[in-house]
Amino acid sequence: QVQLVQSGGEVKKPGASVKVSCKASGYTFSSYGISWVRQAPGQGLEWMGWISGDNVNTNYAQNFQGRFTMTTDTSTTTAYMELRSLRSDDTAVYYCARDEAFGVDYWGQGTLVTVSS
Shortest Å, Cβ 106 to another protein: 8
Shortest Å, Cβ 75 to another protein: 26
Distance from C-alpha of 83 to C-alpha of 64, rounded to nearest angstrom: 9
Q: Is 44 in the site for another protein (CB under 8 A)?
A: yes
At 96, the amino acid letter reads C
Shortest Å, Cβ 63 to another protein: 8
Q: Is 24 in the site for another protein (CB under 8 A)?
A: no
Q: How many CA atoms lie within 13 A of 4 on its CB side?
A: 26
Q: Is 112 in the site for another protein (CB under 8 A)?
A: no
Neighbours of 45 (CB within 10 A): 11
Shortest Å, Cβ 32 to another protein: 13
Residues with Cβ < 8 Å from 40, sequence gap 6 or more?
46, 89, 91, 92
Measured from the CB atom, the residue of 109 and 116 that comes closer to another protein is: 109
Residues at the site binding another protein, with contacts judged by CB under 8 A? 35, 37, 44-47, 50, 59, 61-62, 95, 97, 100, 102-110
